[in-house]
Amino acid sequence: MLLGACAGGLPGVRAGTPPITAVRVARGLSFPLYVTYAPGDFERVFIVEQGGTIRILKNGTLLPDPFLDISHLTVADGELGLLGLVFDPDYAENGFFYVNYTSGRQPGPMATWIVRYRVSADADRADPNSAHVILTFPQPYANHNGGWMGFGPNDGYLYIAVGDGGNQFDPDNRGQTIVDDLWGSLLRLDVRGDDFPEDPMRNYALPPDNPFVGTVGDDEI
């Protein structure tokens, strides 16, 4: 209402809601959560399905075979599953892309995994054997896992949105904790380096200008 009133007072601007039309672009998807594209690719759209598959919509046609299938590594249950996808800024040269998924389900142990994969010789299929773990950490509950990832347009670092880990109302106050606790944070990692060569579950470097580097607080935040 406020926007409409403001617009109505501007010369040449008509009040009211602009017409919006929903257009179906694909059928046959299962719990699609996220849509993105590879840098410079104007023919394909990549669709994340919560159950663990990434599908390709190519020139308006949904390809029958998934780009990547990691359904054996994750479980789509509530807020669990394959939750995020981002392509490396240099994807055209290195073929790297990154996924964010959860493993396990209640009442057993659960975790978030940030993993890099590489495209295969077939541009429409990833190499499932190219998995390279960037980071993993436990999830105490089955909800509030976050999932979005993106590369900074100016710094080239990987940003990862991490939920507070649950449960309802953040009962363990994780969203307000920055020491030994990555939950409820926006992580910023340099995936082209490795400050932890002895740890196979941490394959990244810490940007020196992260706000808590060298102070009290997790360096990844």
Contact 67, 125 (CB under 8 A): yes
Indicate the pLDDT class of residue 13, thresholds 50, 70 and 90: low
Contact 132, 149 (CB under 8 A): no
The per-residue b/e assignment along 25-46, b for 16 or more CB within 10 angstroms, e otherwise, is eeeeeeeebbebebeeeeebbb
Indicate the pLDDT class of residue 11, thresholds 50, 70 and 90: low
Indicate the pLDDT class of residue 84, thresholds 50, 70 and 90: very high
pLDDT of residue 169: 74
Q: And the tokens for 121?
A: 């010789």
Contact 116, 85 (CB under 8 A): no
Give the up-direction half-sphere exposure of residue 77: CA atoms within 13 A in the CB hemisphere: 12
Q: In percent, how much of the chain has pLDDT > 70? A: 93
Contact 182, 218 (CB under 8 A): yes
Residue (of 102, 159, 123, 128) closest to 38 by Cα position = 123
Q: Which CATH architecture has domain 32-189?
A: 6 Propeller (2.120)
Decide which of 123 and 147 is more confident: 123
The whole-angstrom separation of Cα 92 and Cα 105 is 36
- Picking from 70-74, 103-107, 133-137, 168-172, which range would have the lowest pLDDT averaged per residue? 168-172
pLDDT of residue 10: 55
Residue 22 predicted with pLDDT over 70? yes
Helix locations, the chain, DSSP H: 2-8, 91-94
Residue 153 predicted with pLDDT over 80? yes
Neighbours of 209 (CB within 10 A): 9
Residue 50 predicted with pLDDT over 90? yes
Decide which of 89 and 167 is more confident: 89
The whole-angstrom separation of Cα 40 and Cα 160 is 22
